[in-house]
C-alpha cells in the first residue's frame, strides 16, 4: 500500500477534485470490511481505490469476492442497494 501511494506522490499524479461515485462506494466497502474484521476484503477495496480505472481481470474477480465476504445486512438499508449494484458492476 505504502509503495503504491509513494509512487503516486513521487509522480505527482493528481487526485481528482471530485471523486467518482464508484470510488466513494469502494471507500464504503473498505470501511465496512474493516468494521467487520475482514482484512482480505479491506485490502482488496484499498487496492481497487488506488488503481482507479485499471481493472484487471484479477482485480475484478477480487472485488467480487470481497463483496461476497461482506455481510451486506450490516450496511444501512439506503446504502445497500447502490453499493451492491456499483461493486457488482466493477466486478463484472
In a domain, 60, yes or no: yes
Residue 49, Cβ density class (10 Å: 0-12 exposed, 13-18 middle, ≥19 buried) = middle
- Could you tell me if residue 31 is inside a domain? yes
Q: Is residue 7 part of a domain?
A: no
| Length of the chain as a residue count | 92
Contacting residues for 79 by C-beta, under 8 A, at least 6 apart: 28
3 inside domain: no
Question: What is the number of structural domains in the chain?
Answer: 1
The domain of 62 spans 20-91
| pLDDT higher at 59 or 44 | 44
Q: What pTM does this model have?
A: 0.69
- In this model, does residue 8 exceed pLDDT 60? no
**pLDDT confidence of residue 19:** 61
Assigned domain for 14 exists: no
In a 3-state reduction of DSSP, which class is residue 59? helix
Amino acid at each position: 500500500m505504502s509503495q503504491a501511494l509513494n509512487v503516486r506522490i513521487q509522480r505527482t499524479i493528481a487526485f481528482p477534485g471530485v471523486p467518482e461515485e464508484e470510488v466513494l462506494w469502494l471507500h464504503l466497502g473498505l470501511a465496512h470490511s474493516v468494521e467487520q474484521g475482514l482484512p482480505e476484503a479491506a485490502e482488496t477495496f484499498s487496492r481497487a481505490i488506488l488503481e482507479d480505472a485499471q481493472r484487471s481481470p484479477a482485480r475484478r474477480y477480487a472485488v467480487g469476492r470481497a463483496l461476497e465476504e461482506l455481510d451486506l445486512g450490516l450496511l444501512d438499508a439506503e446504502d445497500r442497494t447502490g453499493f451492491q449494484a456499483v461493486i457488482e458492476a466493477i466486478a463484472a
